[in-house]
Structure 1
Amino acid sequence: MDEELIDDGSIPLSRRTRLPGAGFFYPDSLDEERAERRAEETLTGAEAVVIADGDADGLACAAMVRAQYDAALDVADFEADIADRIADESDADATGDAETDGDTDAAEGAEQSSDDVEEPHERSTVALLAAGPYSIDDSLERVLEYADPGIDLFVCDLCPDDFEWIADPLTGLVDHAASIRWFDHHQWDDETAAAVRSAGVDLVVGDSEEECTADVALRSLPHEFDDRWTELAAVTRDHDLWIKEDPRSDDLADYAYWTGAEEYVTVVGAYGADLPETVDRFLEHRRVEKRERIEAAVDRAVVHEVGDWSVAVTYGRCSQNEVAETLREQGADAAVIVKPAGSASIRGSDGFERAHEVAGRVNGGGHPKAAGCKPDIYDDMLDYANHWTTEGQAARKVILGAFEAVADEAAENAATEAAAE
Structure 2
Amino acid sequence: MDDDLIDSSSLSLSRKSLLPGTGFFYPDSLDDDRDDERVQEAVDGAEVVVIADSDADGLGCVALLREMYDAALDVEPFEEDIAERLASEGRPTPDEEPLDDEDEEDELEQESPVALVGASPHNLEDEMARVAEFADEGVDVYICDLCPDRYKYVEEELNDLLARASSVRWFDHHQWRDEVAAAVRAAGVDLVVGDSDEECTTDVALRSLDYDFDAKFTDLAVVTRDHDLWLREDPRSDDLADYAYWTSSEEYVTIVGAYGADLPDIVEEYIAERRVEKEQLIDLAVSRAEIKQVGPWTVGVTYGRCSQNEVAEALREQGTDAAVIVKPAGSASIRGTDGFEHCHEVAGQVNGGGHPKAAGCKPDIYDDMLDYAHHWSTQGSAAKRVILAAFERVAEEVEAAEEVEETEGDVVDDEEPDGDDADDGETDDEGIDTER
Give the TM-score taking structure 1 as reference length: 0.94
**Alignment-derived partner of residue 360 in structure 1:** 348
Q: What do residues 250-270 of structure 1 show as CA deviations (whole Å, max 9, x unaligned)?
A: 000000000111110000000
**Alignment-derived partner of residue 243 in structure 2:** 255
Measure, in 2, the Cα distance between the counterparts of 1:248 and 1:2: 41
Counterpart of 2:333 in 1: which secondary structure?
Answer: strand
**Alignment-derived partner of residue 51 in structure 1:** 51
Q: Are 1:344 and 2:332 matched, yes or no?
A: yes
Measure, in 2, the Cα distance between the counterparts of 1:33 and 1:319: 30
* Aligned-pair CA distance for 1:118: 2.2
Measure, in 2, the Cα distance between the counterparts of 1:305 and 1:165: 36
Maintained 8 Å contact 1:59/1:261: yes
Maintained 8 Å contact 1:3/1:22: no
Measure, in 2, the Cα distance between the counterparts of 1:419 and 1:310: 27
**Alignment-derived partner of residue 35 in structure 1:** 35
**Alignment-derived partner of residue 95 in structure 2:** 101
1:369-388 matches, within 5 Å, as 369-388=357-376
1:237-276 matches, within 5 Å, as 237-276=225-264
**Alignment-derived partner of residue 274 in structure 2:** 286
Measure, in 1, the Cα distance between the counterparts of 2:270 and 2:392: 42
**Alignment-derived partner of residue 149 in structure 2:** 161
Measure, in 1, the Cα distance between the counterparts of 2:111 and 2:186: 33
**Alignment-derived partner of residue 298 in structure 1:** 286
**Alignment-derived partner of residue 26 in structure 1:** 26
1:413 to 376, 383, 401: 401
Maintained 8 Å contact 1:8/1:99: no
Maintained 8 Å contact 1:73/1:121: no
1:113 to 98, 103, 113: 98
**Alignment-derived partner of residue 106 in structure 1:** none
CA RMSD, Structure 1 to Structure 2 (Å): 1.3
Counterpart of 1:407 in 2: which secondary structure?
Answer: helix
* Aligned-pair CA distance for 1:413: 1.5
Q: What do residues 317-341 of structure 1 show as CA deviations (whole Å, max 9, x unaligned)?
A: 0000000000001111000000000
Measure, in 2, the Cα distance between the counterparts of 1:345 and 1:177: 35
* Aligned-pair CA distance for 1:9: 3.6
Counterpart of 2:299 in 1: which secondary structure?
Answer: strand
Maintained 8 Å contact 1:151/1:179: yes
Counterpart of 1:67 in 2: which secondary structure?
Answer: helix
Structure exhibiting the larger radius of gyration computed from Cα positions: 2
Counterpart of 1:81 in 2: which secondary structure?
Answer: helix
Maintained 8 Å contact 2:350/2:390: yes
* Aligned-pair CA distance for 1:113: 3.5
**Alignment-derived partner of residue 138 in structure 1:** 126
**Alignment-derived partner of residue 83 in structure 2:** 83
2:72 counterpart letter in structure 1:
A
**Alignment-derived partner of residue 180 in structure 2:** 192
**Alignment-derived partner of residue 204 in structure 1:** 192
Maintained 8 Å contact 1:74/1:121: no
1:166 counterpart letter in structure 2:
V
Measure, in 2, the Cα distance between the counterparts of 1:172 and 1:27: 27
2:247 counterpart letter in structure 1:
T
Greater CA deviation, 397-406 or 121-130? 121-130
Maintained 8 Å contact 1:54/1:261: yes
Measure, in 1, the Cα distance between the counterparts of 2:99 and 2:120: 13
* Aligned-pair CA distance for 1:85: 1.0
Maintained 8 Å contact 2:93/2:274: no
Measure, in 2, the Cα distance between the counterparts of 1:115 and 1:10: 21
1:315 to 303, 324, 336: 303
Measure, in 1, the Cα distance between the counterparts of 2:266 and 2:24: 30
2:380 counterpart letter in structure 1:
G
Give the TM-score taking structure 2 as reference length: 0.91
**Alignment-derived partner of residue 4 in structure 2:** 4
1:277 to 239, 255, 265: 265
Measure, in 1, the Cα distance between the counterparts of 2:370 and 2:404: 45
2:310 counterpart letter in structure 1:
E
* Aligned-pair CA distance for 1:99: 3.1
Any gaps of 5 or more consecutive residues in structure 2? 411-436
Query: Higher relative contact order by CA 8 Å / sep ≥ 6: 1 or 2?
Result: 1
* Aligned-pair CA distance for 1:8: 4.2
Maintained 8 Å contact 2:6/2:25: no
Counterpart of 1:92 in 2: which secondary structure?
Answer: coil
Measure, in 1, the Cα distance between the counterparts of 2:349 and 2:336: 16
Counterpart of 2:90 in 1: which secondary structure?
Answer: helix
Maintained 8 Å contact 1:180/1:201: yes
Aligned length: 406
* Aligned-pair CA distance for 1:167: 1.1
Maintained 8 Å contact 1:23/1:113: no
Percentage identity across paired residues of the two chains:
64
